[in-house]
Structure 1
Amino acid sequence: MFVQHTEAMLEDIEVEMEDVASEEAEEEGQDLVVDIDGCDENNPLAVTEYIDDLFTFYRKSEVTSAVSPNYMANQFDINERMRGILIDWLIEVHYKFELMDETLYLTVNLIDRFLAVHSLVRKKLQLVGVTAMLLACKYEEVSVPVVDDLILISDKAYSRKEVLDMEKLIVHALQFNMSVPTPYVFMKRFLKAAQSDKKLELLSFFLIELCLVEYEMLKYPPSLMSAAAIYTAQCCLYGSSQWNKTHEWYSSYSEDQLLECSRLIVGFHQNSGKGKLTGVHRKYSTSKFGFATRTQPASFLLLL
């Protein structure tokens, strides 16, 4: 009986210790790294066997395919404001044609990479924009808009021959390299790490699209900009930082590394409905995008 009583006491102590450990883990919560791919082991589309290798490759590629954040200094007839107007308009065109998200991000990437290596007169800037979207569609879309549709949306400012000639010029200037990691691939991965719901996802994409319009954001790699957009969206929705060890593990960025970029995003959010470049704001003011613009900016981040 004594032995049985002692064993029972030991069992009770072990249970209590487990409970205390569980409570401490819940309190510290931030110190646990969640395996976000465990639930997808049987999903062949999730490619869990080499997903980590894939994103290691993406991180290396974003460095080698980066555009100089000062490339406008080499342009004599266009400036960053014109680039912003073009991107803002293309976001509306992308929405009108109901294209895939990937197409928008690749379009912007192609434009910046082309302008970084080729001087352009301003009257050809819109031509570069629609042609870059045509190329991105050919790379990403199942059903590609015809050239005439893009000419029409440009108010017939260019001919079919001009579009096709520009297409050849762009692909040769970029050496036919269309396979580059854009913010989109990192957004999807980091949102999975954040265990996001639809509200967080839409707000994060609203913030990252605001970044696409801003020339100054070229100084950040796509992975950091994506992580900062999600971090900022979490702060908007929850009123405080939610960045934990899981976020850090999969993004490779700490909260401190994101703050500078995040503060800029807060400023874009605050001014998104003002001025002339309001294409992103109008897009995310609709029910289709969850009225994401109604969420208040995380202004407290400006004080950190």
Structure 2
Amino acid sequence: MAGADENHGAVKLANFRETTNRRALKDIKNFVGAPSFPCAANKRQLKEVVCGNNDSVIPRRPITRQFASTLASKSQQSHGETSNKHGQITGNEKHNPIIIDEDVPMVEESEEMEECELVEEITMEDIVIDSAQDIDIGDVGNPLAVVDYVDDIYNYYRRVEASSCVHPDYMSNQFDINDKMRAILIDWLVEVHYKFELMEETLYLTVNIIDRFLSRQAVVRKKLQLVGVTAMLLACKYEEVSVPVVDDLVTISDRAYTRKEVLDMEKSIVKTLQFNTSVPTPFVFLRRFLKAAGSEKKLELLSSFIIELSLVEYQMLKFQPSLLAAAAIYTAQCSLKGFKFWTRTCEQYTMYTEDQLLECSKMMVGFHRNAGSGKLTGVHRKYSTSKFGFAGKSYPALFLLDNRL
């Protein structure tokens, strides 16, 4: 045990064996596979009892008069054992001797039981408290991490994220476009975003602007691509240091639109959205939740791959940005580890339990499985390159689709 030297010489409990039909000290997991707690260990000084040829050791409990007499009477009746002058109960050589030292004080039974309950209560409380980690403690000296304000920032994001969401059935108000056309547009924009080497957050904001605009304004299908490139122009102006010029976007759209049409659409979008482009997208939550997950590069890339697959899917609009981010990380962890994995730290910082993520996660597993097939493979091709660690070729967590789990 890691803290054995600190706990007054207490040793590992290799094999716990009750010597009577009543339990003196229940195994409360404070010896095997758990941290030591000096505050609990000091409550009762532990001694060893070595059982014959057996190498196992058990912690000594205070011997009460009632317990000592019970041991003596039961041993004499069952094995014909007799007590020697040193207080040792001996009997048939086939049985291991139980050693009782004369210097062990006799205490009242009520005091002993009360003490045992106190040790268990303190120990179990400490285990629960220590189960989640403070992910910001290593960034206290880093001004860019804004440790003093980061919790307030994300609490604000959680309060306002609903305002950045759209009705999950807004396409029913469109008369000339549908969800499949939206998927084609966003899959194409993923490739445009990659070609221009734009920042990750730009793609998320672009998709958000498109959905919020289409949920409020009817658009004919021949103008849908114009909405897409203009939304990306606006997102670039908000997120990027170096913004693509309008002529670049006209060229990338195969000159289907003029410069004037792009600028006119830009005015229409910002008026419809009331110039509100400062909204929490899944990206801002993804950054924070990856830190809570103790992220490495492989997990980061796979989580990004899974959540970009979800951006293309219209049906994922029913989930809030924070839940999408948490579910993507959970799905990625399950895929990499091969089993369900969601820590108390992840649960604390995402505010989502594993059960709350399962519905979204199962849908993501389906998208992951089918990413390389079909007509819309832009995200899969992007993440199948060495630049993105070949995350697109990873094996999906298909076991999550088993309803028996």
Render the CA deviation track for 1:2-57: whole Å, top value 9, x for unaligned.
xxxxxx9972139989x94582259x899711110000011111111011111111
Checking the alignment, whether the CA contact within 8 Å between 1:30 and 1:244 is kept in structure 2 is: no
**How many residue pairs were aligned?**
295
- Where 2:8 maps in the other structure, the secondary structure is helix
Tell me: CA distance 1:25–1:169, structure 2 relative to 1, closer, same or farther (3 Å).
Answer: farther
User: What is the root-mean-square deviation in Å for CA atoms of aligned residues?
Assistant: 2.2
Aligned to 2:10: 13
- Where 2:268 maps in the other structure, the secondary structure is helix
Residue segments in structure 2 that go unaligned for 5+ positions in a row? 14-26, 37-126
Distance 1:103 1:167 in 2: 16
Tell me: CA distance 1:279–1:147, structure 2 relative to 1, closer, same or farther (3 Å).
Answer: same
Which structure has the larger Rg?
Answer: 2
Structure-1-length-normalised TM-score: 0.93
Q: How far has the Cα of 1:294 moved from its partner? A: 1.8
Q: Which amino acid aligns with 2:192?
A: V
Tell me: CA distance 1:30–1:211, structure 2 relative to 1, closer, same or farther (3 Å).
Answer: farther
Tell me: CA distance 1:10–1:36, structure 2 relative to 1, closer, same or farther (3 Å).
Answer: closer
- Where 2:342 maps in the other structure, the secondary structure is coil
Aligned partner (choices 168, 174, 182) of residue 267 of structure 2: 168
Question: Which residues in structure 2 correspond to 1:195-206 (within 5 Å)?
Answer: 195-206=294-305
Distance 1:218 1:273 in 2: 22
Aligned partner (choices 9, 23, 30) of residue 33 of structure 2: 23
Distance 1:64 1:57 in 2: 12
Aligned to 1:135: 234
Aligned to 1:286: 385
Render the CA deviation track for 1:72-112: whole Å, top value 9, x for unaligned.
00000000000000000000000000000010000000000
Checking the alignment, whether the CA contact within 8 Å between 2:299 and 2:332 is kept in structure 1 is: yes
Tell me: CA distance 1:239–1:47, structure 2 relative to 1, closer, same or farther (3 Å).
Answer: same
Residue segments in structure 1 that go unaligned for 5+ positions in a row? 1-7
Checking the alignment, whether the CA contact within 8 Å between 1:34 and 1:246 is kept in structure 2 is: yes
Checking the alignment, whether the CA contact within 8 Å between 1:30 and 1:245 is kept in structure 2 is: no
Tell me: CA distance 1:178–1:24, structure 2 relative to 1, closer, same or farther (3 Å).
Answer: same
Distance 1:283 1:188 in 2: 20
Aligned partner (choices 60, 65, 79) of residue 178 of structure 2: 79
Aligned to 1:44: 143
Q: How far has the Cα of 1:223 moved from its partner? A: 0.4
More helix by share: 1
Checking the alignment, whether the CA contact within 8 Å between 1:263 and 1:302 is kept in structure 2 is: yes
Distance 2:332 2:224 in 1: 32
Distance 2:246 2:7 in 1: 77
Distance 2:192 2:128 in 1: 43
Tell me: CA distance 1:291–1:10, structure 2 relative to 1, closer, same or farther (3 Å).
Answer: closer
2:292 equivalent to 1:193:
yes
RCO comparison, higher one (Cα < 8 Å, 6+): 1
Distance 2:380 2:174 in 1: 29
2:248 equivalent to 1:149:
yes
Distance 1:9 1:125 in 2: 69
Aligned to 2:102: none
Tell me: CA distance 1:194–1:68, structure 2 relative to 1, closer, same or farther (3 Å).
Answer: same
Q: How far has the Cα of 1:244 moved from its partner? A: 1.1
Distance 2:200 2:385 in 1: 17
Aligned to 1:108: 207
Q: Which amino acid aligns with 1:298?
A: A
Q: Which amino acid aligns with 2:175?
A: F
Tell me: CA distance 1:9–1:99, structure 2 relative to 1, closer, same or farther (3 Å).
Answer: closer
Distance 2:204 2:284 in 1: 10
Distance 2:6 2:371 in 1: 63
Question: Which residues in structure 2 correspond to 1:112-127 (within 5 Å)?
Answer: 112-127=211-226
Checking the alignment, whether the CA contact within 8 Å between 1:31 and 1:244 is kept in structure 2 is: no
Aligned to 2:162: 63
Q: Which amino acid aligns with 2:218?
A: S
Q: How far has the Cα of 1:151 moved from its partner? A: 0.3
Aligned to 2:18: none
Distance 1:82 1:288 in 2: 29
Distance 1:55 1:86 in 2: 31
Report % sequence identity: 66
Distance 2:254 2:303 in 1: 32
Distance 1:30 1:237 in 2: 28
Checking the alignment, whether the CA contact within 8 Å between 2:384 and 2:390 is kept in structure 1 is: yes
Checking the alignment, whether the CA contact within 8 Å between 1:31 and 1:245 is kept in structure 2 is: no
Q: Which amino acid aligns with 1:190?
A: F
